[in-house]
Amino acid sequence: MNTIDKNHIWHPYSAMNSDLPVYEVESANGVRLKLKDGRELIDGMSSWWCMIHGYNQPEMNKALEQQVKKMSHVMFGGLTHEPAIELTKKLIEITPALLQKVFYSDSGSVAVEVAMKMAIQYWHAKKQPEKQRFISLRSAYHGDTFAAMSVSDPDTGMHSLFKDIIPHQIFIEQPASRFGESCNKNELNELEQILKNHSDEISALILEPIVQGAGGMWFYSADYLRKAKELCEKFNVLLIFDEIATGFGRTGKLFACEHAGVSPDIMCIGKALTGGYLTLAATLTTEKISNTIDNGNPGIFMHGPTFMANPLACTAALTSIKLLLESNWQEKINRIQRQLEQELKICNTFDAVKEVRVLGAIGVVEMKKPVNMKNITEDFVAAGVWVRPFGKLIYLMPPFIINANDLKILTTAIVEIIKKYSY
Ligand SMILES: *Cc1c(COP(=O)(O)O)cnc(C)c1O
C-alpha cells in the first residue's frame, strides 16, 4: 500500500488509521480496472453508479480532447458557451416536460442544496416564508453537505453528532410496498397526517424515486410516488425528486420517475450525468417556480458555484447522453436484469442471506448481518472483481456495456464468497 496515501489521504467515510485495504489503480479500460501491481478487476460498481459506458471510451475521450483545445473552463457569470447550451437543450428534452429551467453545480450534494434553496425561495416569494422544513424518508441518502445531510437518514447520517447545526427535518417511514406492487391502503397515512398538521411550515417532500440508494438499496412501489404527488398537491407542498443515482437508465427507465409517470417540481441529477468522466450535477425546475423566485425578493436565485457549467463537464455530459440514447440501452439493461436475477437468485438459499432483489442494472444481496469489509474486499479482489459492499448489502451496478461473460464473473464471485461465509 502506498505510504503517502496511507498516512496523508482521507478516503470516503474512513479513518486515517484504518486497516482496510486501499488499492492503487493505474488505468482503466472498458469494464476493467488495472491495478498498479498488474492485476485486473472487473468493475461491478461503475465507480458508484457513474461509469455507464465504461472507462476510456473512445467517443468520450475524443469529445473531451476537442473541447480541451477550445476551452477547458470559463466563468459562467455573464458568459455562456455551446456545451452548456447544447446540454441544456438535451436535458429539457429528455426529462419530464414541465422541467424547463436548469441550474448546474459540481456535485450531487450541491444539487440537493440548490433544490432545497429553490423550494425555500419559492415559498418566500409566495409570502409564506415559514415554509422552510422538509419531509424526507427514513433510509434516504441525499448527500454529505449540511442541508443534504439533514434530509438523509438520521441514524446512518449520525444526526445526533451534528444536532445543533443541522436543520431538523421531518422523517417518515420508508415505503413498505415493493416495486411492482400497489401501496397498502394505510401506507401514506403518516405522510398525510404530517401534511395535514404541518403544511404551513413544510416547503417540500424530497424522495429518491423508486430506488433508495446508499441508504439501503431499497426498491419501492411506483404507486407510492403517485400518491405522494397527490398529497403534496393537495396540501401545497413541493415535491423534489433526487434522481442522482437513478437517472440515466439504471432502473430500466431513463429516469426512475417514469415508472410512476410522476413529474416533480424540482429534480436533481448527477453521478452518471457525465458518464462518470467529470463531476457535474444539475437541478431542474419548472417555469412556475423560476418565475415565482424571480418575482420575489431579492429577485435572483441565491447560488452560483465557481465551476458552474464547466465546459469540459458539459461536453462529457452531452456526449454521454448521446451515446446512451443511440445505444439500445433498454435492451442492455433488460439483459443485465435477467442475468442478475438468474445468477444471484441462488443466494436466497443461503442461511446468511436475507433476500436477493434486482431492478434494472442493480442487483442486491441483503445479508442478515453486516459483512466484514476487510475480508470480503480482499476476497473479491482475489476473485478478480471490484465489489464494494456496505453494511449488510452486497450489490452490483455494472457499466451498461458489460458483456455476459464478465457479468457472470461478477455474480459468480458474489455467490462463491457468500457461500464461503454461510456455513
Ligand atoms: C451520490 C448521491 C448524492 C450525492 O452526490 P455527490 O456527488 O456524492 O455529492 C445525492 N443523492 C443521491 C441519491 C446519491 O446517490
pLDDT in tens, 178-213: 999 999 889 999 999 999 999 999 999 999 999 999
**pLDDT tens, residue by residue, 268-324:** 999 999 999 999 999 999 999 999 999 999 999 999 999 999 999 999 999 999 999
* 38, 133: one domain: no
Specify the DSSP class assigned to residue 258: G
Q: Which residues contact 54 (CB under 8 A, 6 or more apart)?
A: 29, 30, 31, 399, 401, 402
Q: Whose CA is nearest to atom 8 of ligand 1?
A: 108
Question: Do 379 and 414 sit in the same domain of this protein?
Answer: yes
The closest residue, in CA terms, to atom 7 on ligand 1 is 108
End-to-end CA distance of the chain: 32
Q: What region, left, alpha or beta, does residue 356 occupy, with left being phi > 0 and alpha being psi -120 to 50 degrees?
A: beta
CATH classification of the domain holding 159:
3.40.640.10
Domain assignment of residue 66, yes or no:
no
Q: How far is the CA of 391 from the centre of ligand 1 (A)?
A: 18
Domains held by the chain: number: 2
Q: What is the pLDDT of residues 127-169, one digit of tens each?
A: 999 999 999 999 999 999 999 999 999 999 899 999 899 999 9
For residue 422, pLDDT over 90 is answered with no
Does residue 250's CB lie within 6 angstroms of at least one atom of ligand 1? no
**Within this chain, do residues 263 and 403 fall inside the same structural domain, yes or no?**
no
Q: Are residues 213 and 348 in the same domain?
A: no
Same domain, 228 and 308: yes
Locus of grid cell 467517443: 59
Dist. CA 81–CA 182, nearest whole Å: 45
Q: Angle at CA 68, nearest 5°, toward 62 and 72? A: 140
Nearest CA to ligand 1 atom 10: 142
Q: What is the mean pLDDT of the chain?
A: 97
Q: What is the CATH number of the domain that holds 350?
A: 3.90.1150.10
Number of the ligand 1 atom closest to the C-alpha atom of 112: 10
* Residues 148 and 292 both lie in one domain: yes
Q: Is residue 423 pLDDT above 80, yes or no?
A: no
Q: How many angstroms separate the alpha carbon of residue 216 from the centre of ligand 1?
A: 14
Among residues 131, 229, 253, 271, the one annotated as catalytic is: 271
Decide if 64 is inside a domain: no
- The secondary structure element, H or E, covering residue 366 is strand 362-367
> Rounded to an integer, what distance in angstroms lies between the CA atom of residue 177 and that of residue 123?
32
Check whether residue 181 and residue 273 sit in a common domain: yes
What CA–CA distance (Å, rounded) separates 169 from 176?
21
Domain extent, residue 348, equals 3-56+329-420
Give the whole-angstrom CA distance, residue 389 versus residue 61. Answer: 30
- Predicted confidence (pLDDT) per residue in 351-386, tens digit: 999 999 999 999 999 999 999 999 999 999 999 999
